[in-house]
Structure 1
């Protein structure tokens, strides 16, 4: 019997219940699933730390937008994913999120390199079931929005240098364009030019 330990983290219990029902209903006959759930960063950190000492999770599902930890150390599913990768390096990391902006997708792939990346608006029960099977056997599995972004990036002639990456990161943190030159040592006009190039890459 193939026993699979799973952690699901989402701040909406009904969404977690839906994921659980799909995986249990579509699991293979030789699989048993043990699923732990958490609704915020504090609960998830405790579960990850405990599991890493004895029975590490085989698969971790993280929503990106979560209530942060009380100490302010963990503010999102991205932070939890990085912790899981550090403490349980063999665990498969799956990101599920409503965010579908290209720069957010780019940052998540660059920082986390998840084994699965699913945009909730793409998700159906069948896709979750198929994605779970592929993530276990031959990751990565990306839903259609992420896959289209990856194809566009690979086929693009625009080179993503360190400055462009920093612009994307700052924009994803909510920094306004007019304030970017406080963080990057180039002129506002140069930043505007680079933003136009990035729009060609990400939004056309």
Structure 2
């Protein structure tokens, strides 16, 4: 499949902690001739300095990274470098996660089981001003989004508390949550106390049960 070459070459920064996957995408893009991979970053803490140094046109961003969540990182990139486009490239097909990235304003969200042509097409469409969200994603209806907002209002949970509750359900310890969200351990513990108070729970098992019952 032939693609138009958009001069100058599209500068791309890869942000993914899986080295083999990142190397594979780099080789694929470099072989096309329309792209210049200006860097590969494996740790969330190194992304902003690299963006500042390399000035990419597009960032391919994994949703799950060491030291900072992809969502928080996308927020920081958009706040500091609003002209740089972001496409999330991930294995996570979760409606809530997709909505959160949409609210941040990323230009694309593509699953890692996409084909080469789907990836290249998405990149060109984004660079031409479109937003591209994978057609294989689970449907996200306005009713679902409304239900999520209503859930937060009903239990007075902040977006951060909801994020931490989901991580607790996945079995992460307070220290692991601190690492994933770039919060201090003390801050995470404070959030956990607030969540317990708002949900009238006492143990971690109670929180996990609550999260499972409410499909969080």
TM-score normalised over the length of structure 2: 0.65
- Alignment pair present for 1:108 and 2:121: no
User: Which residue of structure 1 aligns with residue 56 of structure 2?
Assistant: 57
Aligned to 2:28: 22
Cα distance in 2 for partners of 1:113, 1:32 equals 23
Cα gap change, 1:156/1:87 in structure 2, threshold over 3 Å: closer, same or farther?
closer
User: CA separation in 2, counterparts of 1:169 and 1:119?
Assistant: 21
Cα RMSD of the aligned pairs, angstroms, is: 3.4
**Structure 1 stretches of at least 4 aligned residues deviating more than 6 Å after TM superposition:** none
Pairs within 5 Å for 1:90-101: 90-101=83-94
Confirm or deny: 8 A CA contact 1:49 1:87 kept in the other structure. Answer: no
Corresponding position: 1:173 with 2:161: no
Cα 1:156–1:62, aligned 2, differ >3 Å: closer, same or farther?
A: closer
Post-superposition Cα deviations, 1:21-48, rounded to whole Å, max 9, x if no partner, equal 3323345xxx452431111123323202
Map Cα deviations across residues 141-163 of structure 1 (whole Å, 9 max, x no partner).
Answer: 111243x433xx13669553352
Aligned mates of 2:143, 2:32 — CA distance in 1: 36
Q: Does residue 3 of structure 1 match 2:9?
A: yes
In the alignment of these two chains, the number of paired residues is 177
User: Cα distance, 1:182 vs. partner?
Assistant: 4.6
The match for 2:183 is none
Cα distance in 2, alignment partners of residues 96 and 76 from structure 1: 13
